[in-house]
Structure 1
Amino acid sequence: MIKISNTVKFLAVLILGSLAGIIGILLLVSRSDKETRRGIKQKGQEFMNKIRSAREPAAEPNLKKISNWGNYPQVQVKFHEFEDIETLRRLVDQSEQMIARGNGRCYGDSALAPQVISSLRYNKFLAFDRDKGIIRCQSGVLLSEILDVIVPQGWFLPVTPGTKLITVGGAIASDVHGKSQHKAGNFSDHLIDMEIMVGDGSIVRCSHTENTELFLTTCGGMGLTGVILNATMQLIPIETAYIRQESIKIHNFDHMMDIFEESEDWSYSLAWIDCLAQGQQLGRGYLMRGEHAKVDELATVKQRQNPLVPKKRLKLNVPFNFPSFTLNNYTITAFNTALYLKHPNDVVKSIVDYDTFFYPLDTVQNWNRIYGKRGFTQYQFILPKSVSREGMHRILNRIARSR
């Protein structure tokens, strides 16, 4: 029946269009040749447009192809945005398979569904207690925007991942962690409360003590429990916008684990590993650890005069997708070797601004384009401490042999 009705519709438009074209030509006979040609062309264009509209279904106005930061997979979705509660409630009522989405800095298929609701326009600050370090904001606010507000006032995020270009809602949904996990835990450990719109359109306030089950399943729930509307967070005090950093060259995996265990009292620690190194150098790399710097630890007079406002850093940009052959065993091996050899053998102590320590990749805009149009996938895992040495050793061996 569908094919018959479409055919009838097409024929009807074809006949009507032909008649309109003939009538138009007759009416134009009395005009000048130039006007006649113009009129015939216009009528002909209208005729062709009618044919196309009969053949082709109207495109969905909000269809959009999106992906996350890895550029894989790419999915066509119905893309919606909201700025107020009523718009969001209407979208929730009308949608069956829907998920909220922040800034798309996650990996894999996170926040991808047939219908996606972006929170980026729901991005207002609601309250900031400068004395107690408590901030409340809507879920579409970026961590970078929070830092711009709180750092000059002497406060910092207790937990932050390797990018500040994620939303508060995304940080909660993924329950992100960072370089302070061994001491500060996850993002959710510093949430005071939040509000969520659940599937029936109602708004529920939850916390560690109120509607606890919803709170716990939403933190790390990947957006499956509802749309996070706003959140209240506890911040930590700082004297400066700088980090006292130590960087240590690591010779192999066992050396890495030993230094990590020695660094447990440091607030922040992380490591880069050359995953292609083998043999006695398996697990080589360097480890960095840090603490928030005090004013009297700052290196220059200029820093001490304005300790909470670091110098703005120049940002680079990758303007296009690299060819797919750019990253291969040879180029990656060369890069890793150069990065390892560049590091001095001694412990390097320095004072760096918080962007340099926490968010080095954010200074290179669109760095994901280095992986080309096909994108990349990222695999993250965690091992119990009791088997971490053996497990990581086996994993690094497997990666190194996969070249």
Structure 2
Amino acid sequence: MNKVVQGILGRSLLARVLVSGALVSGSLVSSSSWAADTIKVGEINSYKAMSAFLGPYKKGWQMGLDEINANGGVLGKKLEVVSRDDNANPGDAIRVAEELRARERVSMIFGGFLSNTGLALSDYAKQRHIVYLAAEPLTDKMVWSDGNKYTYRLRPSTYMQVAMLIPDAVKQHKKRWALVYPNYEYGQSAVETFKKLLKEQQPDVEFVAEQASPLGKIDAGSVTQALADAKPDAIFNALFGADLSKFVREGNTRGLFKDKAVFSLLTGEPEYLDPMGAEAPKGWYVTGYPWSKINTPEHNAFKKAYEAKYGEYPRAGSVVGYTVIKSVAAALEKAGSTDTSKIIAALSGLSLDTPFGPITYRTQDNQSTFGAFVGQTAVEDGKGTMVDFHYVSGAEVQPSDDAVAAMRPSN
């Protein structure tokens, strides 16, 4: 067991959760799933806590599931998703994972949003020998230092998204940087990666202020004032959700962003731009999803189908949900079985088409090459959007294979 789960649950709680399903062996789960007319897979996420992203995400995987079953299902059987809410709590994530494995007898699990719940599910997968396909958790630990053969990840990691922004950050030639982020695994790793990668490219850079706020509880006024007092030339931001909106509002009011270069992870996603309306930031360098401006055959087909089904435009979560269930189905088809070892072999090197183009699950670290769009924010028709954007494949923003091998355990 790794320190993440130990620290959150304690040895005794995890032991009780795991023992509760001990009579249902891994082989029984697989054979039961295979024998039925339906193949069950489990899905776990923080729907109540993170509804802005996960509402569209659920619609995305539901649309993908409907398409899969309309086309004959998987291996001649109907694919069924049994979904559970983890209350944004790693302990609850472990509990419902065991329920899905032992009671529902799912063949594999997918999902996850927050990095801490994702790490807990990754360790659970390792302990119970069940495949976990992480949809959203961005922590680098999931595929590197805490990686294991049972865990795969779809979305570009924290390292990958930061690396997408570094070329533009270097071009700004700004020396004094301030940093603001949520004080948990995702935010901490985002800032450490940004400092490392920028320092490698620009050795004279200085980091003059660092504000870490509890997730969902930012004191935007004091944070903004502390950053302003440091007189930075540029700001790196990893806030999202309501914390981001509060920070932007205070920053606009106090003039924090005037004449400063701002680089921000995830801010270009409509989930976070839309709630800000005309108050959305202008000129920030961001990763995101400019849904209305992408003109490729694969994205146009996805967007048209999504709008026809739900009567609304897709969000970033919609694409993630759609792609993750398509990945699940592709892995099961390639495996030709619900046997865990065969699913693992199928996911390693698996390639498939997505609304963003083709991706592959890398054999080096089980990370997919799913990418993101990089551009700048603007306000058009009273709403935030992205302009001057381009797509960056996840394959382009990876450490060397030797570096990955040095970070990843051999399990």
TM-score bracket relative to the smaller structure: under 0.3
Larger Rg: 1
TM-score (norm 2): 0.22
* TM-score of the pair, normalised by structure 1: 0.22
**Which structure ranks higher in relative contact order (CA pairs < 8 Å, sequence separation ≥ 6)?**
2
